[in-house]
Amino acid sequence: MNELVFDLEAEKKEILKRYRALLKACKPTLQKGDKSMVRHAFDISLEAHKDMRRKSGEPYIYHPIAVAQIAAEEIGLGTTSVVCALLHDVVEDTSITLEDIENEFGKKVAKIIDGLTKISGVLDYNSSLQAENFRKMLLTLADDVRVILIKLADRLHNMRTMDYMPREKQLKIASETIYLYAPLAHRLGLYSMKSELEDLSMKYTEPETYKFIARKLNEKKAERELYIQSFIGPIEDILREQGFKASVYGRPKSIHSIWNKIKKKGIPFEEVYDLFAIRIILDSKLENEKADCWKAYSIVTDLYRPNPDRLRDWVSSPKANGYESLHTTVMGPKGQWVEVQIRTQRMNEIAKKGFAAHWKYKESSSDSGLDQWIQKVRDLLKSPDSNALDFLDDFKMNLFSDEIFIFTPKGELMQLPANATALDFAFEIHSDLGARCIGAKVNHKLVPLSHKLQNGDQVEIITSTKQTPKEDWLNFVVTAKARSKIKSNLKEEKRRIAENGKELLERKLKSLKITYNTENISKICNYLKFPSTLDLFFAIATGEIDLKNLKDFQASEKSSENKVPERNENSHIEGIFNKVKSKDNDTLLIGEDLQKIDYKLSSCCNPIPGDDVFGFLTINDGIKIHRTNCPNSTKLMANYGYRVIKAKWTSQKELAFLTGLRIKGIDDLGLINKLTTVISNDFKVNMRSITVDSSDGIFEGSIMIYVNDKQHLEDLIKKITQIKGITSVVRFDSDKKTQQGA
């Protein structure tokens, strides 16, 4: 890039301005000597990054300053974290080493920077680089939670400034964010950050829906603000009369949470009632907090009738991430339900700044649920043979879950995620207790292992020395601890049984005069289509395969034309990549003129021409084409970014693609006839299947049809919507949520 294009003098002023804003944000936590330490870190970072620029053309130093600003202002972290944020990229991107950092700033800063430095090295095709990266980050979390908090600040700034990235990079980073970083922010109690990360991810993964909801919210903004004012006016008056110092305001819900509601309830935007929440923040002394929150609740529910099923009390029992608040939904003017959140200033700071604020108030709170959670992360990381991706799936499951409170027979309180079972509870107490569990008594009544626990249950575990973990246990446990212990127990058992299979195979090979060595075992594995030797030995031991099949293997080996060279997965994957890349500018073209590259349209989302799609390289099935908003795409892009291939449609008016429509309406005579007339006659579209269900005057149908492309489908939907009695027409993904390529 030609430096003459940049106004270096103006940039210098801007850098200084941003640095001063950072110092201002640090002010509340600055101690003696801290200012010069921050200045020193800034100088080193400025010098180290002086010749670097971001994709937007801006000086690179803007990024570390912004990350430090988020750490100080939005998370409330102190000087050590600000220094680490300023230096978080220097070790990886410049000639400065960890030793240099340690000499200048001490061991603590060097350790945090080490945790923040990404793994570099060879890409391992069998596991996800991102998953390993994340695992390393969590290992450092076990020592210092600031690593994760700075990493979240780094991710938030990258998401805020992602417009200049290429589309496939945007998709990968956004998927990784929604899959892991947003749940992590949620778990660490950083609610506003979690919402922003979700919204920004959606902006890139589902741009059309994002813009649509943003536009709709904007259209109704003035009307909404008037309603909020009329709702909160009476509340403010009574709070003032009763001597409360409080601020009451309306807060719009995030675009992502509105989209979730639309999907979950299957309703149009117009029918989402809770587009905002009312927040009451009380200025209370610590000892009066609980009583004041309930007094405010009483004032609100005297004015507006509450929905008894929608009271959430996190003041008496805070969430595991320290969140405290009282939530209720009340019937406001014009017959509209309104969510009201009541909390004190201290609780509000914890809700905004999560873990960092929690530390600040730690002396006043009992043993933090977050400390217990971090202890659980440590335990999980100790699991000897857990694969990084399994670990991530198990770990992620426990990030977003709400908690329930369960009592032991002696009356001790334990926290578990919602939907936890009696078996989860057993594993939570002790791994051995879980492994030997045969049932439980919940509130003195006998229940099976899979029994889902309710808030406040008292649980006693029943065990037997003869019990061992079973495969089907994985279908109903929800805690990461239970899953990882069951998996490692099953693996151990499988290994034990596989030993017998190994001996049987050795004997059989001897009789066939085939040498027992790694190469031959690997060939047999490939021939019999087993993913690993352990699976092969296990299948032999359990009688799943007949050793007589080995004669066929021997015959195929002897026949030279059938002799298959041992398949090397890495070169196989690279081969397909190169095949694609040598063609049209590394983009896979999908269409009738495709250059002999094997691809399939994925059945989990049935993409059609015009959909935003990507190619995903599976191990055994060639390239699968997925829609970017497919139910599985987030996981695939977050965990296997290196296997994602850009893909676009070529013109194809002649081909037909299968897709599904879900139609709802008011049951009327001849409605199906009208529907099939529009589909078959007016649009000349072929139907593969139609299922109709009608009850109590409501008609619901699912139709699988063949269309040419997205525009063709949209025109058809428009036409069906115009049929009298039809209330909604929605395209749906295949009901099979199959996961490809893992």
| Residues catalogued as catalytic | 92-93
Rounded Cα distance between 618 and 603, Å, is 14
> In the chain, count of helices (H) and strands (E)?
29, 20
Rounded Cα distance between 722 and 683, Å, is 14
- Contact between residue 643 and residue 616 where contact means Cβ atoms under 8 Å apart: yes
Burial of 662 (0-12, 13-18, 19+ CB in 10 A): middle
Q: Alpha helices, DSSP H only, in 27-126?
A: 34-48, 62-69, 79-87, 90-93, 98-105, 107-116
Rounded Cα distance between 418 and 506, Å, is 49
Angle in degrees, CA 255, 259, 262, rounded to 5: 140
Length of the chain: 742
Angle in degrees, CA 452, 455, 461, rounded to 5: 55
Q: For strands 588-590 and 644-649, give the pairing.
A: parallel
C-alpha separations of 560 from 276, 548, 556, 564 in Å: 71, 21, 8, 9
Nearest to 142 by CA among 429, 412, 382: 382
703: its two tokens: 């139709």
Rounded Cα distance between 659 and 636, Å, is 22
The whole-angstrom distance between residue 550's C-alpha and the CA centroid of its chain comes to 45
Nearest to 486 by CA among 468, 498, 499: 468
Three-class SS of residue 446?
Answer: strand
Three-class SS of residue 126?
Answer: coil
Three-class SS of residue 665?
Answer: strand
